[in-house]
Amino acid sequence: MPVLERYFPSAELGRRWTAPEGVLPSSPAGRPGCQQGPLPWDSPEMIRMVKLVWKSKSELQAAKQRGVLETEDALHGFPGDVRLRGQTGVPAERRGSYPFIDFRPLNNTTHSGEIGTKKKVKRLLSFQRYFHASRLLRGIVPQAPLHLLDEDYLGQARHMLSKVGMWDFDIFLFDRLTNGNSLVTLLCHLFSTHGLIHHFKLDMVTLHRFLVMVQEDYHSQNPYHNAVHAADVTQAMHCYLKEPKLASFLTPLDIMLGLLAAAAHDVDHPGVNQPFLIKTNHHLANLYQNMSVLENHHWRSTIGMLRESRLLAHLPKEMTQDIEQQLGSLILATDINRQNEFLARLRTHLHNKDLRLEDGRDRHFMLQIALKCADICNPCRVWEMSKQWSERVCEEFYRQGGTI
């Protein structure tokens, strides 16, 4: 009845309606089964007409909505300012500071490995709902209320977080169960598990806002360098931090630096590598003089978000500046061009047996090694995950070649 009131006066409801000329057939031969003249509200022909009117209005609203979204996408396509000044210390960058590289003309490749996992999750959730329904039909009252689909997904995500320290943790499944919020959900859990929120007296709302900023600054159109990759590296970093020979020496500051660096180590990644930026004379290459271009950009962008969210504003100024510098040292260590440098240094320490984890500098060096290993640990994962990551990185390199 509310649908009918929207299109017809309330005073006319309940009456018999005479079809206007041209709307309904004027003779029974023109429309089999139709009566000529007045029609009751509950007649099939009347219901059909109301559905047609409702469908037309819905299609019009959908068309308007598509137009609004296309307009917003066009407005957000403009690049922002590069630098964010006005505070002492390390220069920061404004979020989304580089010109957008449009890959939309290229065709996206469907990752076949995801299809089977999606079907498994769907079957599992369907079985859970069927199990609850069958208990109700048999007259068995469940202890807990019937879960909605979202609650089922969150329950599965909570179950996965109990095994977050396992090397076979499926980050793709976890990302689907959290509705694309794997990085935020994982870091909130890890900060709580390691006691960092209590130790540093972090505000939970501010922490969540900062993590959302980091997650949103990853580009979902990148097949490889996206928020799922950041969550995967963060989970691997957590595994390294739990290693007994290292964990006993780590301080809360070391753990927070390791997790933050892992989460933001590729933030605002454009989906192309450093040689591409240098050869195309990109403004980031000019800004950082062709030295660790992407890593410097990730570091400065992270500092900009830390300051914008004011996550560490309650800490002493000297401490926040030290955190910013150490974050930069960790993120810059992920530059693939410095791989041999860190490996040679690690070999020297192992040969001389002079690595003392009681020393803060040696602990920081081990955090750099751990982050470098976590960043490229995909081949060490289980086969299904390694295969998906290999397909994604190949797709990203293919897209980069298509833009030349």
Query: Nearest Cα to 267, choosing from 398, 83, 96, 396?
Result: 96
Q: What is the DSSP letter of 23?
A: T
Query: Nearest Cα to 373, choosing from 247, 240, 271, 191?
Result: 240
Binding-site annotation: residue ranges for Zn(2+): 229, 265-266, 375
225 is catalytic: yes
Cα–Cα–Cα angle for 296, 301, 306, rounded to 5 degrees: 130
> Token pair of 82, please?
């590069």
Task: Find out whether 231 and 222 touch, Cβ atoms under 8 Å.
Answer: no
Query: Nearest Cα to 339, choosing from 361, 368, 362, 367?
Result: 368
d(CA 70, CA 62): 12
At 318, which amino acid appears? E
d(CA 259, CA 269): 18
Which of 194, 219, 225, 297 is catalytic? The answer is: 225
> Token pair of 256, please?
């927070």
Binding-site annotation: residue ranges: 229, 265-266, 375
User: Which residues are annotated as catalytic?
Assistant: 225
